[in-house]
Structure 1
Amino acid sequence: MGEDEFTAVYAATYRPLLGYALRRCDSPEDAADVVAETFAIAWRRAAEMPAGDQARLWLYGVAHRVLANQRRGARRNTIKAAALRAELSAGTPPRPAPGGDGPAVADVFRALPDRDRELLALVAWEGLSHAEIATVLGCSRNAVGIRLHRARGRFARALRAAGVDDPSAAARPRAAAHPARSSRSELT
């Protein structure tokens, strides 16, 4: 089937196929996806498409299979989402006690610029190294180090401004843990 023939079949069958999909889908967007996928398959398999009115029926068959695939995918997604929710609720750490700093820290974190939040989250939540973050963000490892240093500084200042002690300060090593730094401070 040539391009002109395909264009003619498309023009003759687009509206009926869209109606078919609209009557079977939950949203117009889903119906549009079904029709688009149907014609994408038809284009790839144009040599198999029959001529005349049989093309319309063949396209209904393709749309029927696309809808079935879409429904199976939606069911799989629903099952996976339910399993993930159950897993997350089972493994969710307890919320901080009222009056604790947890909500305040979360509020300060949410108020940070997106770029800072993403960097801090990649380190703290995803456990990525500077090199791995550089790959994710498409920048150099050195740039990650500089940006992360600045993001941590902005976060610490925002915590202090909110009246929240920096929760990582107690865990951060002091100069004594760094011999090169402590020897320099003894010399001055």
Structure 2
Amino acid sequence: MPIDTEAQFTEVYRAHYEDVLRFVRRRAHPMNVDDIVGETFLAAWRRRRELPGNPRPWLFGAARNVMRNADRGMRRQSALVVHIQQTTAAGCHEPAVDVTAQADSRVDLVAAWQSLTAADQEVLSLHVWEALDARDAATVLGCTRAAYAMRLTRAKRRLAGRLHTAAVPASPALSLTH
């Protein structure tokens, strides 16, 4: 669906802005959401003549790429801070806090979710929260439909295993069977 006019782009923007905003809010720090959504639609504007007929998965993929770029930049900045601290402290390190020792022994859905890898969380959220079909979710992730289906199956098993181990019933909002 090549977009030739500003009016056509405005239609796409209005039709998909809320979906992209929700997608980013679920994944990014609240302070970064507006910037990420803005950069996503800027990328869409720049590539407006290449947008597919259904731009929603493309927009999710673009937002995901913007978030990944931002994460890489934050990791580089954090690594620099750690390097500077280590250099200036010269051996005066405090022992790392064992987060798991301080964690509540009660495992619930949130804890099971957080124990998943980012890749598993992403696959499951595309399925559950964004309600994308396999073809569109594969487009977002930049993989084949078969690869997405396998990733989804494995992520569901891992989450179900964590929930089963903790003997916590799954939330109806996070159905693992559809």
For this structure pair, what is the TM-score category when the shorter chain's length is used for normalisation?
A: 0.3 to 0.5
Structure showing greater relative contact order (alpha-carbon pairs closer than 8 Å, 6 or more residues apart): 2
Which structure would you say has the larger Rg?
1
Superposition TM-score, scaled by structure 2 size: 0.46
